[in-house]
């Protein structure tokens, strides 16, 4: 009980209070702890969490594979991919430099240094490394190694070095797969918007309208749509709405015609500027939606999140929140 | 009679198989990519503010660029990061690159490769690739306090103390500007909260389109000096720095895709209401 419950609560309470107090108390020791030591603790724990995550992933995939659960084939691919990346990351340097050129294996790097010389009258070929000639290829290789003509990349840097095997794996396997998965989103968004994005009530209609304005206004094509065209469209849609409400053709026709005439006269007077009146110009309208109603709503949400974080942090410090103990 | 036939047709098309939608969206993206269409790019105020923010940095300053994204969001963030690097190097700034995402390092390598010839880039003279460190906001907090406690070596494994460019760099306060090309967590929010705000260093960000609505309050409050919003933001910025790239090329595809989706939404709603009307009629 003490070990599993009270000690973890005490650790959280002490460290939580210390890091919190660093914002309020002007003390160098506490500030150093909060700014340097605590963040390094976090980095170390985060690094270990990667191992924990990897083990958990393997455990789940192995269970799925062994028990032949639905989709076990994908688990097999996951496990193979994991060990493939693991091997390349931990056991293979994958980058050997010969001047500016980089090779995945030391053997390939050696071969690039050696030229085979078959001169006339010579029964067996000789192997040249720089200006030195060898009868045996292994001697040529040993010479190249002894002369440090090949520079292997440092361990650790090998996963980040340009041209390394790990980078090759990332560039030509992981990147296309990842990009493909994300690109599929466009298709699902299109399909979902066709089926589910409905103007069922006022709020949904408002969301729909704002969504359409932002989607069109954000892209260059939206800039080509004149504000006058939008105004004509508004008159047309309003006419349809009036028809839906009144069910009288005369009223609809008079309203729509009057609207069209008004818009046309206004356009002729002002000379049909593309972006005037700016309230009907989609790029400016979408910018306004982003900067005014959206910013107001997002700020409120952010403040709510902030207050929520404060309350949750205090609950952790006071030992009221114990979900991290599995309770 | 004619109207009824049209209504029935719309209802029928409203039940179209989703594979048809997939094909149409695929074509809307593919055709403009294969046969490029030039569309006029209009700079939005947030992009202009971002550009001016970088222009205001004194020449030859130290700037921190963070690559906080991966291949999935590369089409949106990568063009803007390349353009930002281009702009910074053109203004003779010294660039320090960090990554909060493990994939960020490869994105950074690609971006540097893209502009390497143009600026005859020399590592440790023009830029330092600090690389990736796990820990998200803790990394930023560490950088704000003491960079050397977070990075003892750079991406090549070279000791930070052996790099001449790092001589007068102790923490974030030594940078004139922070930029984060971010696709989510950790990214813009964390840089503002733990990097820009506590140190007072001017900063800005480039984000994916879906993040813009969350990030915009920081632009309004001045915690971010402008913002590059998604691929359109990248295209606008490419235009401002006069180096047209992949973002401008991609604008036609994105425009057509958006138009097709909007048409789908409008058409789907018309079909939905007509169907409702028909059902009400038959239920009476």
What does the pLDDT look like over B24-64, one tens digit per residue?
Answer: 999 999 999 998 888 899 999 999 999 999 999 999 999 99
pLDDT given for residue A60 in this prediction: 96
Per mean pLDDT, which range of A126-140, A261-275, A311-325 is the poorest?
A: A126-140
Express each pLDDT in B186-202 by its tens digit: 999 999 999 999 999 99
Whether B238 and B248 have beta carbons less than 8 Å apart is answered as yes
**Any chain A CB within 8 A of the CB of B135?**
yes
Question: Model confidence at A317, in pLDDT bands (50, 70, 90)?
Answer: very high
pLDDT given for residue B227 in this prediction: 96
Helical residues (DSSP H) of chain A, grouped into ranges: 7-21, 28-32, 38-66, 72-90, 106-113, 137-146, 165-169, 175-196, 202-218, 220-223, 227-246, 249-270, 282-289, 295-317
| Distance (Å) from the alpha carbon of B14 to chain A's nearest alpha carbon | 8
The helix/strand count (H/E) of chain B reads as: 12, 6
Express each pLDDT in A178-233 by its tens digit: 999 999 988 998 888 888 888 888 899 999 999 999 999 999 999 999 999 999 99
**pLDDT over threshold 80, residue B283:** no
Whether B175 and B63 have beta carbons less than 8 Å apart is answered as yes
Higher pLDDT, A131 or A102: A102
**Any chain B CB within 8 A of the CB of A175?**
yes
Hey, CA dihedral for B183, B187, B192, B195, is it positive or negative? negative
User: Can the peptide bond before residue B261 be classed as cis, meaning omega within 30 degrees of 0?
Assistant: no
Whether B252 and B231 have beta carbons less than 8 Å apart is answered as no
Which chain B residues are within 8 Å of A28, Cβ to Cβ?
A: none
**Any chain B CB within 8 A of the CB of A287?**
yes
Question: Model confidence at A125, in pLDDT bands (50, 70, 90)?
Answer: confident
Name the average pLDDT for chain B. 92
Which chain A residues are within 8 Å of B45, Cβ to Cβ?
A: 287
**pLDDT over threshold 90, residue A305:** yes
**pLDDT over threshold 70, residue B170:** yes
**pLDDT over threshold 70, residue A121:** no
Residues B190, B203: Cα–Cα separation, whole Å: 12
**pLDDT over threshold 90, residue A246:** no
Mutation test of the interface with chain A: which of B47, B127, B135, choosing the one with the most A Cβ atoms within 10 A?
B135
Name the average pLDDT for chain A. 89
For the sheet with A101-103, list strands across it. Answer: A101-103, A96-98, A151-152
Higher pLDDT, A284 or A246: A284
Give the DSSP H or E segment for B115: helix B104-119
Percent of chain A surpassing pLDDT 90: 50
pLDDT given for residue A122 in this prediction: 67
Residues A220, B209: Cα–Cα separation, whole Å: 15
Task: Tell me which residue of A35, A162, A31, A50 sits closest to B150, measured CA to CA.
Answer: A35
| Distance (Å) from the alpha carbon of B176 to chain A's nearest alpha carbon | 21
Decide if A186 and B213 are in contact by the 8 Å CB cutoff.
no
**Any chain A CB within 8 A of the CB of B198?**
no
CB contacts under 8 A, A 291-310 vs B, are 291, 294-295, 298-299, 301-302
Which chain B residues are within 8 Å of A189, Cβ to Cβ?
A: 261
Question: Model confidence at B284, in pLDDT bands (50, 70, 90)?
Answer: low
Can you give the C-alpha Rg of chain A in angstroms?
34
Torsion angles phi and psi, residue A198, rounded to 5: -115, 145
Token pair for B242: 């006069």
State the pTM of this model: 0.87
Residues A14, A4: Cα–Cα separation, whole Å: 16
Per mean pLDDT, which range of A138-147, B85-94, B244-253 is the poorest?
A: A138-147
For residue B99, list its beta bridge partners.
B132
Residues B108, B106: Cα–Cα separation, whole Å: 5
Decide if B258 and A218 are in contact by the 8 Å CB cutoff.
yes
Question: Model confidence at A32, in pLDDT bands (50, 70, 90)?
Answer: confident
Q: Give the chain B residue whose CA is nearest to the CA of A218.
A: B232
Decide if B258 and A215 are in contact by the 8 Å CB cutoff.
yes
What ipTM describes this predicted complex?
A: 0.87
pLDDT given for residue B15 in this prediction: 82
Question: Model confidence at A120, in pLDDT bands (50, 70, 90)?
Answer: low
**Any chain A CB within 8 A of the CB of B160?**
no
The number of angstroms, rounded, from the C-alpha of B171 to the middle of its chain's C-alpha atoms is 25
Residues B46, B87: Cα–Cα separation, whole Å: 17
For residue B65, list its beta bridge partners.
B97, B179
Percent of chain A surpassing pLDDT 70: 98
**Any chain A CB within 8 A of the CB of B223?**
no
Of A42, A208, A216, the CB nearest to B135: A42
Express each pLDDT in B86-103 by its tens digit: 999 999 999 999 999 999
Can you give B30-56 as a three-state secondary structure string?
Answer: HHHHHCCCCCCCCCCHHHHHHHHHHHC
Of A43, A221, A291, the CB nearest to B134: A43
Mutation test of the interface with chain A: which of B16, B139, B145, B253, choosing the one with the most A Cβ atoms within 10 A?
B145
pLDDT given for residue B219 in this prediction: 94
Whether A219 and B232 have beta carbons less than 8 Å apart is answered as yes
Whether A232 and B52 have beta carbons less than 8 Å apart is answered as no
CB atoms within 10 A of CB A286: 22
**Any chain B CB within 8 A of the CB of A194?**
yes
Hey, CA dihedral for A101, A104, A109, A112, is it positive or negative? negative
Of B134, B138, B262, the CB nearest to A50: B134
């Amino acid at each position: 009980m003490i070990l599993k419950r009270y000690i973890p609560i005490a650790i959280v309470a002490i460290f939580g209070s210390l890091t919190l107090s660093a914002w309020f108390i002007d003390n160098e020791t506490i500030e150093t702890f909060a700014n340097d030591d605590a963040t390094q603790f976090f980095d170390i724990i985060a690094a270990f969490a990667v191992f924990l995550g990897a083990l958990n992933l393997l455990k789940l995939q192995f269970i799925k594979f062994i028990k032949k659960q639905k989709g076990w084939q994908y688990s097999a691919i996951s496990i193979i991919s994991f060990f493939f990346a693991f091997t390349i990351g931990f056991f293979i340097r994958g980058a050997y430099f010969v001047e500016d050129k980089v090779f995945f294996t030391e053997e390939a790097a050696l071969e690039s240094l050696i030229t085979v010389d078959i001169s006339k009258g010579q029964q067996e070929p000789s192997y040249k490394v720089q200006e030195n000639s060898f009868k045996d290829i292994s001697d040529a290789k040993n010479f190249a190694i002894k002369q440090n003509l090949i520079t292997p990349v440092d361990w650790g840097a090998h996963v980040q070095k340009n041209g390394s095997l790990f980078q090759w794996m990332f560039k030509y396997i992981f990147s296309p797969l990842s990009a493909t998965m994300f690109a599929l989103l466009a298709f699902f968004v299109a399909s979902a918007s066709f089926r589910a994005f409905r103007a069922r009530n006022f709020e949904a209609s408002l969301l729909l309208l704002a969504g359409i304005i932002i989607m069109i206004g954000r892209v260059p094509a939206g800039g080509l749509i004149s504000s006058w065209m939008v105004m004509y469209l508004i008159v047309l849609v309003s006419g349809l709405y009036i028809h839906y409400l009144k069910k009288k053709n005369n009223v609809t026709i008079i309203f729509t015609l009057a609207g069209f005439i008004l818009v046309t006269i206004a356009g002729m007077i002002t000379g049909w500027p593309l972006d005037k009146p700016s309230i009907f110009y989609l790029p400016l309208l979408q910018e306004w939606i982003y900067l005014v109603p959206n910013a107001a709503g997002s700020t409120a949400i952010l403040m709510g999140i902030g207050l929520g974080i404060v309350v949750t942090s205090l609950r952790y410090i006071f030992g009221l929140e114990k979900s991290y103990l599995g309770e | 009679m004619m109207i009824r036939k049209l209504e029935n047709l719309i209802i029928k098309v409203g039940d179209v198989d989703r594979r048809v939608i997939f094909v149409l969206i695929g074509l809307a993206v593919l055709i403009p990519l294969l046969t490029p269409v030039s569309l006029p790019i209009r700079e939005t105020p947030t992009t202009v503010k971002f550009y001016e923010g970088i222009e205001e940095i004194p020449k030859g300053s130290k700037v921190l660029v963070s690559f906080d994204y991966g291949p999935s969001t590369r089409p949106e963030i990568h063009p803007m990061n390349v353009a930002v690097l281009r702009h910074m190097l053109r203004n003779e700034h010294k660039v320090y690159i960090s990554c909060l995402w493990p994939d960020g390092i490869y994105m950074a390598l690609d971006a540097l490769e893209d502009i390497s010839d143009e600026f005859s880039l020399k590592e440790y003279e023009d830029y330092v690739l600090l690389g990736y460190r796990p820990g998200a906001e803790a990394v930023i907090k560490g950088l704000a306090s003491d960079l050397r406690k977070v990075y003892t070596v750079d991406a090549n494994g070279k000791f930070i103390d052996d790099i001449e460019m790092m001589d007068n760099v102790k923490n974030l306060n030594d940078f004139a500007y922070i930029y984060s090309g971010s696709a989510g967590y950790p990214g813009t929010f964390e840089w503002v909260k733990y990097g820009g705000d506590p140190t007072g260093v001017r900063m800005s960000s480039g984000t994916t389109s879906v993040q813009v609505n969350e990030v915009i309050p920081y632009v309004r409050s001045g915690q971010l000096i402008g913002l590059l919003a998604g691929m359109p933001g990248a295209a606008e910025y490419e235009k401002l720095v006069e180096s047209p790239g992949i973002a401008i090329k991609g604008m036609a595809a994105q425009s057509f895709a958006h138009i097709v989706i909007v048409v789908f939404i409008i058409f789907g709603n018309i079909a939905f209401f007509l169907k409702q009307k028909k059902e009400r009629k038959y239920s009476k």
